[in-house]
Amino acid sequence: MVILITGISSGFGKAMAQRLSAEGHRVYGTYRKVQERLPGVTYLQADVRSEEDAKNAVQAVLDAEGRIDAFISNAGMGIGGPLEFCSLEAAQEQMDTNWMGMVRFLHFVLPVMRAQRSGKILCFSSIGGLMGLPFQGLYSASKFAIEGYCEALRLEVRSFGIDVILIEPGDFATSFTASRKSVAQDEAFAVYTSYRDSLASIEKDETGGLKPEYLAEKIARILRKKRPAYSYIISTFEQRLSVTLKKILPQRWFAAILSSYYKL
């Protein structure tokens, strides 16, 4: 299987590239900065915020292989903080990377898969794409956008033999935590007095979360399925339970649970 993954420098992307390559797939991955190159993986320098980079990366795979069997939209970043204090530039950066980064690559991947009348598209959302998380509102918004886009896309392309699959991870111990851009103004901490404690709780959950290799193993299984599900929540039992509770509880009850958890 020929697989293109965005963002393989670290975290999920690196773990998936390593696992899928070890299983014999021909793996291509994009990166902006990379310190260690995995054997058996072809690296393509590309920024998901650039239309030209996206086009060139897809074309490089086609030139080498003539097809793309699976595309995994993984590249992303996070911006944290009270929404009032998140700049408009930060909001644009968050959406331009997480959502438009996916859209740019799909603009060039979709015609390929439609022509070959087959393909699997795996797009990384998050549990934060299923519920609005306090002090992670920009991140949640970008993942909600991915959810809506993929739900529509799935219906449009299923007659061409293309599967569209949403991946919704919970907390994982990756470099995502250290690379998150968080609002640090003194005024933000003074106005939103729970922000500091909530941020510490968020980072604790992430650093103590599951390992990316666990997710990579799940992704390998999903790619082997002939009829994959529409979405997969990959997380601890407690986090999967939170998604279920959001579906069945009155909205005010669930909001109260989140407020308590984030010490609001």
Question: 23 falls in which pLDDT band (50, 70, 90)?
Answer: very high
Task: Give Cβ neighbours of residue 105 (< 8 Å, ≥ 6 apart).
Answer: 4, 6, 48, 54, 57, 58, 71, 73
125 in active site: yes
Is a pLDDT exceeding 80 seen at residue 32? yes
Q: Determine the structural domain holding residue 113 and report its residue range.
A: 2-261
Question: 174 falls in which pLDDT band (50, 70, 90)?
Answer: confident
Give me 213's structure tokens.
Answer: 């290799």
198 in active site: no
Report pLDDT digits (tens) over 80-98: 999 999 999 999 999 999 9
Q: Which of 139, 149, 232, 262 is catalytic?
A: 139
Is a pLDDT exceeding 90 seen at residue 233? yes
Name the pTM for this structure: 0.93
Q: Which of 10, 73, 125, 140 is catalytic?
A: 125
Report pLDDT digits (tens) over 123-150: 999 999 999 999 999 999 999 999 999 9
Side-chain-side CA neighbours of 197 within 13 Å: the count stands at 10
pLDDT of residue 36: 82
Count CB atoms within 10 A of the CB of residue 188: 18
The number of distinct structural domains making up the chain is 1
pLDDT of residue 182: 85
Q: Which of 143, 198, 232, 235 is catalytic?
A: 143
Residue type, 189: F
21 in active site: no
Mean pLDDT of 26-37: 90
Mean pLDDT of 221-241: 95
What CATH number has the domain bearing residue 66? Answer: 3.40.50.720
Report pLDDT digits (tens) over 34-58: 778 999 999 999 999 999 999 999 9
Mean pLDDT of 109-124: 98
pLDDT of residue 218: 97
Is a pLDDT exceeding 90 seen at residue 208? no
